[in-house]
Amino acid sequence: MGKVPIAYIEIGVFAHATEDEEKVLEAARALIPKEHLENVTFKKRRLKGDYGNPITFFKTKIRDIQVIEGIVENLSLNLSQDDKERVLREFDLRLDRGSLYIRLDKQSALKKNLRLCRSDPLHIKIRFKEDLEAVRRLIKESAKLGYRLVGVTLPKDVKPEEVESLKDYCKSEGVVRRRFEIVAVECNTKDVARQAAKDRRVDLLSFTSPEPGGRFFDAAEAELVSGALSALEVDMAPLLVLSGASRVRLLSSLRREVFIAEKFGVPIVLSSGASERLLLRKPREYMALAGLFDMNLEAARLALSETPLSIVKRNRRKLGPSYVAPGVYVVRRGGDCPDT
């Protein structure tokens, strides 16, 4: 098998109170080659459902290339031809921020028979390695749609010359960016969310899970954020990709989160979340889409334009030569102080 351009694969699954946790784990492990099972550990987290019912969430992140290749081969061999064709047809819709999302039926996985489903599935996230050429295409498309400011996510180990190349490309496309200075934290656990909310270096709090049990922006989180400088990021891409009950649950979560953010005065930033140009929309289209989770047009306009711009301006000032400490700037430079 050739080298797979995948950074990691995440497997997650919810076990409800009426389900046998071991059976649920067995379904998740069905994706992993037997020879690698002992090297893969699932983390366990206790959650509560909408009505207080106990839910257990199991999750693992796999970076070992041999295990990744085994999982990809397993999917290739055991998904039906119809399901594989469906994934290909929906590829652009399933791709979000460089990750491919696939949902598999738990009961079928127990029988070693993999098939796609939407209701209460095994969640598979395949994270591809960064493709800077794809980033350039997104920048170009964003400029065509009228955006003058673009934020892109890059890996921590990105080479400085690649960053400079993208900065030059932004300038050539008329997208104004001097540096990549936004700090966003993907809050996949409550502990991460709470810590990020207290950290004044964090600009955006991002809650990417489409399921209510994986989102942690509540009143306690908002109260912490209100004392810092962070904003709540709302990723719009899943609203274009999800359908049925999953989309309904996400909209319900977003309505609650937007209500809490507005109550505590937490700024909101609307983000395209696009990893492909087909997921990009014009600003006014995003404003209209925000109405689905009860944001009025003016609030959506602020979240799409003025709020992110104010964050960028604030950070650019911090990165400037006159910045000393929070609230302290060099106003004028002169020579040495005279002797007294």
Residues in the chain with pLDDT < 70? 1-4, 50, 130-135, 146-159, 162-163, 165-180, 323-327, 329, 333-340
Parse the chain into domains and list their residue ranges.
6-128, 180-324
Write down the residue that tokens 């006014």 correspond to: 284
- Residue 178: per-residue pLDDT: 44
Write down the residue that tokens 């469906």 correspond to: 86
Helix (H) or strand (E) holding 159: none
- Residue 302: per-residue pLDDT: 95
CB atoms within 10 A of CB 290: 24
- Residue 264: per-residue pLDDT: 93
Say whether 140 sits in a helix, a strand or coil. helix
Is the domain defined by 6-128 classed in CATH 3.30.1440.10? yes
- Interatomic CA distance for residues 104 and 86, integer angstroms: 13
- Residue 154: per-residue pLDDT: 65
> What is the token pair recorded at 56?
């257990």
User: Partners of 186 in the beta sheet?
Assistant: 206
Q: Which of 184, 186, 180 is nearest to 125 (CA)?
A: 186
- Residue 174: per-residue pLDDT: 54
> What is the token pair recorded at 177?
């960016």
Question: pTM for the complete prediction?
Answer: 0.55
Arch. (CATH architecture) of 180-324: Alpha-Beta Barrel (3.20)
3-class DSSP string for 237-251? HHHHHCCHHHHHHHH
Average pLDDT of the residues of the chain = 82
Helix (H) or strand (E) holding 315: helix 307-318
